[in-house]
Amino acid sequence: MPLTVSGANTIIVIICLFWLFSGDYKSKYNQIVNSKLMIASIIFFSIHAVSLIWSEDLLWGLHILHKMWYFLLFFPILFTIVQKKYINFYISAFLLAIVITEIFSYLVWFQIIETFIKANLANPTPFMSHVSYNPILAFSIYIVSHKVLFNKNLSNLMRCIYIFFIIVMTINMFITGGRAGQIMYFAALVILIFQFFDNQKFKSLLAILLLVPGVFYTAYQTSDLFHLRVQDVLNTTSAYQDNKGTGVGLRITFALNSWEVIKKNPIIGVGIGDFPKEYRRINLINTPELTNTSNPHSMYTLVLVQLGLLGFVSLLSIFYYEIKLSSLTKNKFIRDVGAALPLLFLLIMFSDSYLLGHFTTLMFVFFSSFLYKDFEQDQ
């Protein structure tokens, strides 16, 4: 999944074909219609499809609809075929792919191999851009850290391997440039601390105050790239008018201009085909010196512009059911990871459209398909 778009898509097609010809359709149908999470996912996609009716640019609308097909087909398909007894295999396969990306990232960073695909010396993120790479890396760190902290059955050898892996991934987090993933990393630390102290608020807050600033300060002092990215945020937010053209400045501008569109179309939005057109129109009025965009780099902004409050509520319903379902199991790993996944995505979706991109959407759907599968059925 984190290694190649074409490879992942090929596997997705194979899975879908096996599903279509595997029979037992009544059981599959019942699993889907009896899951509130699956219904929420299908409704989210359906609102996108229906909004084509009031979209002027049908070609762009169909392009966006194609990107959202996971929520209509692949999510429900995976949901009906994954099995709880194989969860460790699913996670191990995912982590193995992360190990491979880490190896190539360090090989580029240490200049042992030539730069390739997305990886370069300044930002060694192989196979995908840092925008997708760092959130996937942050979630991987969370999973491995959870195993170290809570899995009492780990051998000493495996515990040492996992700890080494955490250190290597954490260093990699700050030699690459994905700010959303870095924020997700710190949020994951906070979640882990609360889960470790099990609602002991004083101990949790004390640990957070000691650990999070310590890691941040260390990264800030040792990583030139992280230092520059932090300074960019500080400079832009303190003097936005002078820094509108920076990466952070453009994101602020995208949000401000998009809000003008949202206010005029608050309930059902402009349709999934019309964000680029509507943004060009308002950008020409407010900030003609700045570039246009087809993506406001915020999932919430994008959904509100395209689908209004109707789509926004539909989006949040997916995360609501995931958080609710995560509390219905006694398995600590499933409960904790099931809560962390939606919380972390709810955070990073402020900074980009992470359910529109291939890699992060696939990771979200992949983990969601088995973390919440049997909980409703146990009620």
Residues 161-170, mean pLDDT to the nearest whole number: 96
For residue 338, give every residue at least 6 positions away whose Cβ sits within 8 Å of its Cβ, in sequence order, or none: 322, 325, 326, 329, 371, 372
Most confident of 8-17, 76-85, 162-171: 162-171
Residues 52-78, mean pLDDT to the nearest whole number: 95
Query: pLDDT value at position 378?
Result: 39
Chain mean pLDDT for the chain: 93
Query: pLDDT value at position 199?
Result: 73
For 332-355, write each residue's pLDDT tens digit: 999 999 999 999 999 999 999 999
pLDDT of 375 strictly over 70 = no
CA distance to 239, 250, 276, 363, per residue, from 255 (Å): 16, 9, 14, 26
Query: pLDDT value at position 34?
Result: 93
CA-based nearest residue to 65, from 356, 321, 362: 356
For residues 223, 226, 230, 236, the Cα torsion angle rounded to the nearest 10 degrees is 120
Query: pLDDT value at position 49?
Result: 97
Band the pLDDT of 376: cuts 50, 70, 90. Answer: very low
For residue 25, give every residue at least 6 positions away whose Cβ sits within 8 Å of its Cβ, in sequence order, or none: none
- 3-state secondary structure string, the chain? CCCCHHHHHHHHHHHHHHHHCCCCHHHHHHHHHCCHHHHHHHHHHHHHHHHHHHCCCHHHHHHHHHHCHHHCCHHHHHHHHCCHHHHHHHHHHHHHHHHHHHHHHHHHHCCCCCCECCECCCCCCCCCCHHHHHHHHHHHHHHHHHHHHHCCCCCHHHHHHHHHHHHHHHHHHHCCCCHHHHHHHHHHHHHHHHHHHCCCHHHHHHHHHHHHHHHHHHHHHHCHHHHHHHHHHHHHHHCHHHCCCCHHHHHHHHHHHHHHHHHHCCCCCCCCCCHHHHHHHHHHHHCCCCCCCCCCCCHHHHHHHHHHHHHHHHHHHHHHHHHHHHCCCCCHHHHHHHHHHHHHHHHHCCCCCCCCCHHHHHHHHHHHHHHCCCCHHHC
pLDDT of 289 strictly over 70 = yes
More confident residue, 170 or 242: 170
For 122-132, write each residue's pLDDT tens digit: 889 988 899 99
Q: What is the pTM of this model?
A: 0.94
